[in-house]
Amino acid sequence: MSEPIKSKNGDISKAPTPQNTPASVSNSYLKSQPPSVSTIAEEGETKGIGKQLANNPALLSMIEGKLGTLVGQQSGYIDSLPKSVKKRVFGLKSIQQQQMKLEADFQRELLSLEKKYFKKYEPLYERRKKIINGAAEPTPEEVEEGEALKEEEEGEDKIKEEEEDDNEDDSRSDEKGIPGFWLTALENLSTVAETITDRDSEVLQYLVDVRMEYLETPGFELIFEFRENPFFSNTILSKTYHYQAELGYSGDFVYDHADGCEINWKSKENNVTINIERRKQRNKTTKQTRTIEKLTPTESFFNFFDPPKPPKPDEDLDDEDDEERENDDLEARLELDYQLGEEIKDRLIPRAIDWFTGDAVGFDFPEDFEDEEDEEIDSEEEDSEDEAPKQNPPECNQQ
């Protein structure tokens, strides 16, 4: 693939595409020389050179700088080929370019097809919203088909047990819709659940609907609709993901940036993205006291609507270590932000009822990822004596 969007302070090449296909920037082939066993004389020479470098930091720095300029350079193999062979290489590049143009047409038609069928999904999503919020009831035919599907999944005996339980306790039959539907679905989606705090859960109880819309340009918008609540005055919170107009090297759309929205919190106390620390101060002269407030950002699902942004070009960090730490933190936050958006778009919205019931939990991650993780755990246990403690994931704080 061609290089995706690169910010000055972070590599966002791992951003997912509209088809949930990660972009790759690997376009070079590394050829390493086979290892060789050095002779005694060579080892002695190596040690001598190493000692000289250790005693001459300026020389060592110069060599490191020179080596740095060689990283990513071509070996010169193509230039060494005969002219007739070079022409064939150039011809193949032309043929590949024709294929890539067709690939670009394919991706654009695929996106157009996705949009076409999404329009057919929308009436079904609207009906789902009405049933969830008590504005409509499913038809007897819909209920019957749902029960048949449940029977296929869990067996007839399980259905009968649930019906008996329903008959035993019918005291809540006057409730409208499905209380806590979206909160439960979100909490069953592990990637999203990790960002939801206890305070967030109180707010998400007021969530009416989660939906998405495609943009006219490549990208999509996630829409969270809330009923009136004591926390903020917004009825809609939205997050928009934009992709580059030009396709990447493999023909996929490449992520560009995300736009959030401002949340109009009704009070500092109801703002779940901050912590309030209060302490009293006494004036030594007048003996009067006053209360000092300190507001600090805290982890919250609602930081999702304030996506991380690269520092401004005129923001200078104190040293290279600070800049590297800032880049690593930014990259981790951007990657989490992209992942959350794709999880909600591709997993939660189309399969919301399965996330509510928990039926989708077993299909959250492919089995091969689980196997890899198990292998890593086994390997780590063997070397656990010298293992450093794992770092916690970086906070995604609202600015």
- Helix, strand or coil for residue 120? helix
Which tens digit of pLDDT belongs to each residue from 41-91? Answer: 444 555 566 666 566 666 666 666 655 555 555 668 888 889 999 899 999
Helix runs in the chain, H state only: 40-54, 57-70, 83-132, 140-154, 156-168, 181-188, 190-193, 198-204, 320-343, 352-357, 367-382
Report the chain (399 residues): mean pLDDT per 10 consecutive residues.
Answer: 39 41 32 39 53 62 58 71 90 91 88 93 96 95 92 68 57 82 95 94 97 93 96 96 80 84 94 88 76 87 89 57 71 87 94 93 54 48 48 39
Q: How far apart are CA 161 and CA 158, in angstroms?
A: 5
- Helix, strand or coil for residue 61? helix
Which tens digit of pLDDT belongs to each residue from 21-44? Answer: 333 333 332 233 333 444 444 445
Residue from 246, 176, 241 nearest 208 by CA: 176
pTM score: 0.67
Residue from 143, 126, 144, 145 nearest 135 by CA: 126
**CATH of segment(s) 6-24+82-130+177-375:** 3.30.1120.90
Residue from 115, 189, 204 nearest 353 by CA: 189
Pairing of strands 289-297, 274-282: antiparallel
Delimit the domains of the chain by residue range. 6-24+82-130+177-375
Residue 148: what are its φ and ψ, rounded to 5°?
-65, -40
Q: How far apart are CA 24 and CA 315, in angstroms?
A: 29
Evaluate whether 272 touches 302 at the Cβ level (below 8 Å).
yes
Q: How far apart are CA 365 and CA 104, in angstroms?
A: 29
